[in-house]
A and B are shown apart, each in its own frame.
Chain A
Amino acid sequence: MQFRDELPASCPPDTSREIGDEIVAYRLLKGNAPTDDDFLSQRKLQPKKSWPNITECEARGLSIYLAISDAKKNLALPKFRKGTVCRVRLSKGFGHIEKTFGGSHHTWWPFAECDILEACTVEAP
């Protein structure tokens, strides 16, 4: 299956796993309702930007949390002060994930065919 972003060689890494059984994850939205823009990778948003110590593979994935407490904590960051948390039901056909960075943070590389907005439900504040 094709991924939403064009990924470099060896991406996603072999250590990632393809999503099989349903996983409940959480992603931050910039507003009150999910839009396609909330699910664009950093590379899509900033095609020419480079970040120190961040691989191209990570930059073409999406950040998600498996614990809602981690997602809600981010609402204190300036970029997400006006945002909300969306619960995303990830199931077979939704791509690959891998635990990265701290807490329950994972990087998600979605397949092109998955209907992300359909799987997203806004959480109550």
Chain B
Amino acid sequence: MKTVFFKSTLFYYDGPQVIEAEDAIGGHYIGVLVETEDGSDRFLIAGVSTKRLRRFKVGSLDLRSLFLYLDEPSWFLGDVLPGGRIELEEQTVKLTETEFLPGDGFFLHATPSESEIALREARLRRNLCFEVSIEPHEAHQEHKVRSKTLVGLLGHWQAFMKHAYEKAYSLSGRKNKPEPEQYAFDVVVPAAPGSFRIVMEASLVPDFFATGNLFQAFELIDRLFDNVDDSEKTAATVREFKGHLAGSYLRLLRFLSKHDTGLKYSWALPEFQAPVSRAIGRNEASPILRLLEKSRSLVVEETELVGTLKLGSDDGKTWRLIGDDQKEYRGTVKKGGPPLDARLGQRYVFKVREEIESTDMEGEETIKRFLLSYRPA
């Protein structure tokens, strides 16, 4: 009698319903609960290839198909015994002639990562760490992710992180913009074994202030992933946030949709007992996008820039401001907006409307700014 070993519960309802197991040489098995009798469970269990198991786990292959088209024709019944051992009883009848096959349409939800890497790295580095992973289309066939896809993920995620941090910063009552180093992250584990996972550490040497804002930024991010299986609820949260954070979230979802992938992330501070994890499945981004795609006003943000006017135009329609943060800001006067008769070299507070026009493959943003009003600083 063959023996395999319980590895994880893939789906739970009143106990494990779908499980993963391994044999002594690392072969993969999938099991689904078919009946409970006399206090014992009976699982339908079959060997599966790494590729097909991964496709099932990311939600692109349903459970019935997984069992209908087995790589090996053998199938078994067995129960998980104390210690995780499963003694497999090989069955001789055809699986299709039994009532054990699942019905159509059972796909796994995107489940948050069970990985503890973020917490382990946070404790090791005494810093906030997070991990993010995807399973794009190219990974469905082979164990690979194109570098372009990874670069895109990092770029979109960094933009998303930036706007979440700026939102958290402004919610704490601060008017000026935070320094970029405060929300920057460094890649510390470029390709964790077993999945396409990137682990990052906050760039800044942690102090109470910076860590507090990062914590709040992640809490805002978590809220956008809390209810991704309910597109109406998620859309309501996006509308509540609006502005650049909403826009960068939608761009991230478009990226995921374009690459036919879900996303999982976890983050932790060293003092956490467990990482905070969230996930969005490959089928969950599109319904949210459909609800929000046409709301142009959703992604517009009004903000104030303080700086010295360097250049206007003769027609009073374009301007260039050197901010107190030494950055250059360019923009135009919105049609119907105030005439720009400010004096060059003087300091002003410019109230502007920012629209992020587009992002390139790497998540870099092109911002259009429109002057709404201004006053001397």
Which positions in A face B, CB cutoff 8 Å? Answer: 28, 41-42, 45-54, 59, 62-63, 67, 69-70, 73-79, 81, 100-105
Interface string of B11-38 (1 = CB under 8 A from A): 1111111100000000000001111100
Q: How far is the CB of A88 from chain B (nearest CB, A)?
A: 14
CB A23 to nearest CB in B, in angstroms, measures: 14
> Cα distance A79–B44 when bound, in Å?
11
> Which residues of chain B have C-beta atoms less than 8 A from A53's C-beta?
8-9
Choose the segment among B100-108, B142-150, B293-301, B328-336 that binds chain A (4+ C-beta atoms closer than 8 Å): B100-108
Q: How far is the CA of A48 from the CA of B82 in the complex (A)?
A: 11
- Scan B98-121; emit 1 where CB is below 8 A from any A CB, else 0: 011111111111111000000000
Which one of B11, B106, B229 lies within 8 Å of A104 (CB-CB)?
B229
Q: Which of B79-110 contact A (CB under 8 A)?
A: 80, 82, 84, 99-110
Report the minimum CB–CB distance from A4 to chain B (whole Å): 14
How many angstroms from the CA of A74 to the CA of B209 in the assembled complex? Answer: 46
B230 at the interface (CB under 8 A from A): yes
Cα A53 to Cα B16 in complex, Å, equals 10
Q: Which residues of A contact B74 (CB under 8 A)?
A: none
| Set of chain A residues within 8 Å of B64, measured between Cβ atoms | 76
* Residues of chain B within 8 A of A75, CB atoms compared: 103
* Given known contacts A78-B44, A78-B100, A63 and B13 CB-to-CB distance under 8 angstroms: yes
Contact flag A45-B34 (CB < 8 Å), given A54-B9, A102-B109, A102-B112: no
Separation of A103 and B13 alpha carbons in the complex (Å): 11
**Which residues in B have their C-beta under 8 angstroms from that of A46?**
36, 39-41
A43→B111 CA distance, assembly (Å): 25
CB distance from A39 to the nearest CB of B (A): 10
In-complex Cβ contact of A79 among B6, B34, B108 (8 A): B34
Closest to B230 in A: A67
On whether the beta carbons of B34 and A78 are closer than 8 Å, the reply is yes
